[in-house]
Amino acid sequence: MAGFKYFVLLIIFLNINIFASDQQSLPKYDSAAVYMKNSVYPLKIELFEIYKKIPADIVMLGDSRTDGVNWNELLGRPNIVSRGIPSDVTEGFLARMEYVYNLEPKYCIVQGGLNDIYNWTAVEKIYQNYVRIISGLRSKGIKPILQSVIYAGKIWGKDYLVRTNSKLKAEDVNKERNQEIEKLNRMLKSYAKRNNIIYIDLNADMSFRGFLKDELTHDGVHLNARGYKIWGRKIDEVLTELGL
């Protein structure tokens, strides 16, 4: 188990990026927090600071999967803005909610938690972070839309295991982590139902036998064009029903 956990901690973030603590940080953030060990985080925050504050109907909040596509072009909607940061965790989402609030959207579509899972964060803690995110959105008059956390594929982390001559199998590691993702998804779906929040089950179309489908990813986690096409269709269906 120690070797298993060591492996998972090494591939914690979606881009396998854990950076030195001497990276630039912003004073208002907790420099000791997990999200600040991701050097992309302060760089993206600096960009959010200089972007023109153009109100949007929809904000996409998430990690590298959210950041990996131009949502306005994918959906053909000029009223959608992305606030994704590669390698981010739900704690990081909470620390930067002002960059969602200041866009004054009608809806915020949230996708995240895989990085938390691969950082060995307890599912209950991730869930509580989601509850806080949702509470914050609602306090600003923004309607949240939840999505299932997309599973990892069988091959995620395989290259690392080969390089290090590990006896662990990527499929076994990812199966165990996906079971934690499924626990979180059940909690999020239940919360959404109890609180009249839209919940989009992405894994229903993007997974097979508990793993992200091989044909939808280039590395076992990050989506390719086929993956984003399915994701985009699912979101577009919901937005159309909402009259957006």
Residue 161 confidence (pLDDT): 76
Entry field: residues in the chain: 244
The values of phi and psi at residue 32, to 5°, are: -90, -5
Instruction: Please give the model's pTM, rounded to 2 decimal places.
Output: 0.86
**pLDDT averaged over every residue in the chain:** 89
pLDDT of residue 20: 32
What would the pLDDT profile of 56-84 be if each residue is shown by its tens digit? Answer: 999 999 999 999 999 999 999 999 999 99
Give the model's confidence band at 28: pLDDT under 50 very low, under 70 low, under 90 confident, else very high: low
The domain ranges of the chain are 2-24+53-241
Residues 92-112 have a mean pLDDT of: 97
The pLDDT confidence band at residue 25, using thresholds 50, 70 and 90, is very low
Question: What's the rounded Cα separation, in Å, for the pair 218 and 214?
Answer: 8
For residue 185, give the nearest of 148, 230, 226 by alpha carbon: 148
* Per-residue model confidence as pLDDT tens digits over 141-169: 999 999 999 999 999 988 877 888 788 89
> Which CATH superfamily hosts domain 2-24+53-241?
SGNH hydrolase (3.40.50.1110)
Between CA 180 and CA 123 the distance in angstroms is 7
Burial of 232: CB neighbours in 10 Å, binned 0-12, 13-18, 19+:
middle
> Per-residue DSSP letters for 31-47?
TTSGGGGSTHHHHHHHH
Predicted confidence (pLDDT) per residue in 1-11, tens digit: 555 554 554 45
In this structure, of 133-142, 164-173, 183-192, the range with the lowest mean pLDDT score is 164-173
